[in-house]
Homo-oligomer: A and B are copies of this chain.
Amino acid sequence: MENKFAIAIHGGAGTILQSEMTPEKEEQYKQDLMFALNRGYDILKSGGDAVSAVEAAVSALEDSALFNAGKGAVFNAQGEHEMDASIMEGKNREAGAVAAVKGLKNPIQLARKVMEKSEHVFLVGDGAEIFAKQFDLPFMDKEYFHDEFRYQQWLSIKDTDNFQLDHSVDKEKKFGTVGAVALDMTGNLAAATSTGGMTNKKYGRIGDSSIIGAGTYANNNTCAISCTGSGEFFIRGVVAYDVSCLMELQGLSLHDAAEQVIQKRLMEINGDGGLIGVDQKGNFVLSFNTEGMYRGAGSYNTQPFVDIYK
């Protein structure tokens, strides 16, 4: 198993139609995906660890304005940016998660601090921000998170009871989350997920991105998984852990387990979205039941690539 490594990333799934995309925009997306993928890939290729690889890849996606996480986080009902993130490593199954945090440049880095520097797994709201201030994690002002497109998108629905799962096209069918999963050369797995949630979200709503078992899961015996989609369904389906259970308890391959969860088990409760996964053999999977998923992968025997449509 030595010297095998693999990484996969996603930037959200949904109704991503080529007809609605300009070649320039498509190129921007692919560029930012490839940049994030290579951040993680290079770490793994030079012998770095899986946790650092997924943290680096997700941080890069958080730093892009194109994806709904970090800098690109959507506006909530108060016109603010409330972010969720989680991370898990597969060796000891340690995990860290934060939800409803504001101002942090990279929520995934805070999730890692929760995993490594606290006795807790899950911190939310102001409390999580107070915890963050013990560390050298950058906080940014409101301007940093401002994006005119997303602001207009929010203005168009802000005085309604509507909310939406990220930007553009069919307002009901776009999910914004970013994530990464990795296997390093020592055989350790890790998974990380980050999101800005839903445009115009109210009431402190949290999706699956910060929920261990739902949006993120890692276990060296099975797989590392990061999900994106209609968060409520991913919570009810305990989707990330479901893939692990099908592998562990029924002996399914990573590919078959992921496909069964996304194309069948999640559909039974009408959930849509996708997931990325890696296993200890260096396999990766990119599964989704939507029109598209911003995604990319690379491994010890596969050159890094990115893709958008089905």
Q: Which residue of B lies closest to A234 (CB)?
A: B121
B235 touches A212 (CB 8 A): yes
State the CA gap A268–B211 with chains docked (Å).
21
Task: Give the interface segment out of A20-28, A67-75, A137-145, A199-207.
Answer: A199-207
A125 touches B124 (CB 8 A): yes
A123 within 8 A of B: yes
Q: Closest Cβ of chain B: how far from A236's Cβ, in Å?
A: 5
Residues of A70-112 at the interface with B, using a CB-CB cut-off of 8 Å, are 88, 92-95, 99-100
State the CA gap A212–B92 with chains docked (Å).
22
Of A122, A203, A242, the most chain B CB neighbours within 10 A belong to A203
A232 within 8 A of B: yes
Task: Give the interface segment out of A10-18, A243-251, A300-308.
Answer: A243-251
A269 within 8 A of B: yes
Contact residue among B123, B206, B250 (Cβ-Cβ distance under 8 Å from A123): B206
A310 within 8 A of B: no
A136 within 8 A of B: no
A127 touches B205 (CB 8 A): yes
Cβ–Cβ < 8 Å partners of A92 in chain B: 269
Q: Closest Cβ of chain B: how far from A132's Cβ, in Å?
A: 9
Q: Are A100 and B121 CB-contacts (below 8 A) given A130-B203, A212-B236, A238-B217?
A: no
A124 touches B121 (CB 8 A): no
- The number of times this chain is found in the oligomer is 2
Count residues of A near B (Cβ-Cβ below 8 Å).
Answer: 45
Contact residue among B88, B119, B124, B237 (Cβ-Cβ distance under 8 Å from A124): B124
A196 within 8 A of B: no
State the CA gap A128–B99 with chains docked (Å).
14
A236 touches B123 (CB 8 A): no
Cβ–Cβ < 8 Å partners of A231 in chain B: 121
A126 within 8 A of B: yes
B235 touches A122 (CB 8 A): yes
State the CA gap A235–B207 with chains docked (Å).
16
Q: Which residue of B lies closest to A205 (CB)?
A: B120
State the CA gap A131–B202 with chains docked (Å).
9
Of A94, A127, A232, A245, the most chain B CB neighbours within 10 A belong to A127
A204 touches B235 (CB 8 A): no
State the CA gap A122–B209 with chains docked (Å).
12
B100 touches A124 (CB 8 A): yes
Q: Closest Cβ of chain B: how far from A116's Cβ, in Å?
A: 13
Contact residue among B94, B118, B214, B245 (Cβ-Cβ distance under 8 Å from A249): B245
Of A93, A211, A242, A269, the most chain B CB neighbours within 10 A belong to A211
* Contacts beyond the supplied A241-B242, A241-B245: 10 A-B pairs with Cβ under 8 Å: A95-B235, A99-B124, A100-B124, A120-B203, A121-B236, A238-B238, A238-B241, A241-B241, A246-B249, A249-B249
